[in-house]
Structure 1
Amino acid sequence: MASKNSTDDGAIKIGVAIPLTGNYGSIGEKIKNGLDLAKQDIESKNPGVSIKLVYEDACLPKDITSAVQKLINVDEVRVINQFCAIGLVPSIDITESKKVISVGVAANVSDLTSKKYYFSPNFSVKENATTIANFGTNTLKAKKAAFLYYNTQFGKDYRRYTGEQFVASGGEIVADEMVNLDITDFRTNLAKIKKAKPDIIFVTHLTGGLGTIIKQAKELGMKTPFVGNYQNEDSLVLNIAGSAAEGFIISSADPEILSANNSEFKQAYQNKHDVAPDVFASNAYDALRLEVPAYIACKGDTDCIAQELHKVANYKGVSGTITIDQNGFASKPTVFKIVKDGKFVLYK
């Protein structure tokens, strides 16, 4: 009889709860591409190993909760990969109580700190936000900042930690605008920010929403630099914003810069999808490459898997070198990019 965490043919079952449709479907597609390629590579290099990825299209809390319960109770998976912090945070109580390994692909919010069964190949929001604030102060010489961020734990954490570091460095916050995820017209928020005359605008948003923010800011005649995070290195942002994206700055976790080990992965990904892999695909690829060996070594026992993942140190992944810290997160360096001639290039 097959164990609860494998199929009848012995395949290792791994759950995935990510957005495959809707506003963030483009991100979910990249994560899926990375996971699928990792599955292919693991199986091709390890005869006898078979992996079944069980996908659920989910992001918002009610959808993620339902998806996670289905993956655990019906599909009987013992490892679940997720992306959306807005759904991951409320679902973490379920996975922790059920002793199911939960792996986050996005930067990690404070509510995910020091969970026994939670891990991530990505850094913490606090680490990245602190770096962004220092860039604003030290590189852009900003003294007055405005914030525009969405009303999620992810957005609030970027606001909190960027703001704390910016103020600690002598800066002043002159405008603070939080928006709901379903908002598509940001002109009222942007008008308030414009009136406050900041030197820098720290923005936390995604995909088409962010592109709209940048486009509407230009329509209002705003010239203050926007600074976003690593998740904004997205062609959809550039497509929506158009020429208004020129000068948009982001922190970047570009795998091609941070890892010398991704050339084979990059070529295989590009051959299959006709585009270079981004940070979402690369983090997802590394996640599965870490999960499966631990799963095999532990025969699916999640207490053992948790111990194995905590031992990960100096793993040369395609997204960069990964060492899992006491919180279950990775720590990675950050570079900055700016949009020039419609492309993200290194900030110099």
Structure 2
Amino acid sequence: MSHRVGPTRIGSRAFAAVAMAAVLAGGCAAPGESKDSGSSGSGPIKIAVIDAQSGQLSSLGKWEYKGAKLAVDEWNKAGGVNGRKIRLDVFDDQGDPTVGTTLARKIDSQKYIAMLGTAESAVTIAMAPTLRQAEIPNIASGQSPGMVALKSPFLFLNGPTSTTYDDTLAKYLIDGKKLKKIAMISNNGAYGKGEHDAFLKALSGRGITPVADEVVTTDQKDFSAQLTKIRQKQPQAVFIGSEEVESGLIVKQARDLGITAPFAGAAPQGTPVFRDTAGVANVEGTIVSSPYLSNDTSDATKKFAAAYKAAYGEEAELHGAKAYDGAQILLTALKNSGVATGRKLADAIRAVRYQGLMGDFAFDQTGVGISATSIGVIKKGNLVKAEG
């Protein structure tokens, strides 16, 4: 039965440059060794957040940390888990898979019993083998189907995969709006490849071949060659499979080149970073597939948004909400299992049924707990539920 719990996406670089950024607030402490951690029965329960806290993807990591911290603070205020405080430490992976893998080994050696993050699919995929060997459960925020393909019993997703996002989007564009001339532009990273493949499959299943299918690199800044090809095809809509900043740059340059068709995409296109990078006028009419369209969707989202605003002085959004759900699920599993570790904790996470901000979570054996999104449209800078 569903229930609500709790109080109410460097090789040779020096590791010191990446070591953890510890946050000393609300029951959080600097990372380090602890004799009394894990399931020892006393002392703080050590949970790691690993995400980009610097670099182009840092907005994702900061949103995720804030959402997770909000949940942890609520639990600590109410007494913690089975009388033990939760210690939440944040580490900066810089959006780099190599750094992420090094950090995975570090949290194992420092006896963290679970991990929240990352929001970057490529980093999560790189870390997964190490976390699996260490038997550290990981609730991640990326959406690449590549994470599911790993078939790790220790990896869970706190939102839908690209398959769900993009099939919902194709259904709206093709089945609903009857569009037939759709162009695609995506990047070659783990997230972009996942989006590209999922949306292309959704189009193919509906008998549609994209009029253009352009792939860019993750660090590209000039998209004029690809966008010129797209403009020549005169599409009715342009699917974009890229993270927030790159997506915003693509849209801004597209408008400068005279492309007037609406853009369509998934989670990144629903964020303030995308909107502000592209410009409010340029994102008008963008179609977004998301499990979290706004803070006003329900009483639960309103309550979460109010608490987030009070804690951080800013508006909540999808990534913070996903991380909040993920943290709530993890803490519930810890409570239900008597602060189990390893496979027992992973099994306890899989057993949780949780009515979250994203929807009703019920994890399957692949680690997916949510399989639905809604369609929104950006109007005057705000994402609102689409009509029809």
Give the TM-score taking structure 2 as reference length.
0.84
**Match of residue 205, structure 2, among 147, 160, 168:** 168
Deviations 1:191-212 (A, max 9, x none): 1111233222110112222111
For 1:219 and 1:263, the matched residues in 2 are separated by 37
Deviations 1:105-139 (A, max 9, x none): 22242343432111122112212221112122122
For 1:346 and 1:294, the matched residues in 2 are separated by 33
C-alpha displacement at 1:292, in angstroms?
2.0
Alignment-derived partner of residue 302 in structure 2: 263
C-alpha displacement at 1:5, in angstroms?
2.7
Alignment-derived partner of residue 311 in structure 1: 351
For 1:163 and 1:28, the matched residues in 2 are separated by 28
Aligned residue pair count: 346
Judge conservation of contact 1:298–1:304 (CA < 8 Å) in 2: no
Residue 365 of structure 2 is aligned to residue 326 of structure 1: yes
Alignment-derived partner of residue 313 in structure 2: 274
Residue 172 of structure 1 aligns to a residue whose secondary structure is: coil
For 1:195 and 1:7, the matched residues in 2 are separated by 64
**Match of residue 323, structure 2, among 258, 268, 284:** 284
For 1:46 and 1:332, the matched residues in 2 are separated by 33
C-alpha displacement at 1:6, in angstroms?
6.8
**Match of residue 102, structure 1, among 116, 138, 147:** 138
Residue 179 of structure 2 is aligned to residue 142 of structure 1: yes
For 2:295 and 2:378, the matched residues in 1 are separated by 17
For 1:50 and 1:187, the matched residues in 2 are separated by 53
Q: Which residue identity lines up with residue 299 of structure 1 in the other structure?
A: V
For 2:41 and 2:345, the matched residues in 1 are separated by 22
Q: Which runs of 5+ in 1 are unaligned?
A: none
Identity %: 23
C-alpha displacement at 1:4, in angstroms?
5.3
Residue 210 of structure 2 aligns to a residue whose secondary structure is: strand
Moved more, 231-240 or 211-220: 231-240
For 1:170 and 1:270, the matched residues in 2 are separated by 45
Give the TM-score taking structure 1 as reference length.
0.93
**Match of residue 196, structure 1, among 208, 230, 233:** 233
Q: Which residue identity lines up with residue 114 of structure 2 in the other structure?
A: V
- Looking at secondary structure, tell me which structure has more helix per residue: 1
For 2:273 and 2:295, the matched residues in 1 are separated by 20
Residue 202 of structure 1 aligns to a residue whose secondary structure is: strand
Alignment-derived partner of residue 79 in structure 2: 46
For 1:6 and 1:69, the matched residues in 2 are separated by 19
C-alpha displacement at 1:218, in angstroms?
0.7
CA RMSD for the aligned pairs?
Answer: 2.1
Deviations 1:151-174 (A, max 9, x none): 112211211121112122121222
**Match of residue 244, structure 1, among 271, 279, 282:** 282
Alignment-derived partner of residue 59 in structure 2: 26
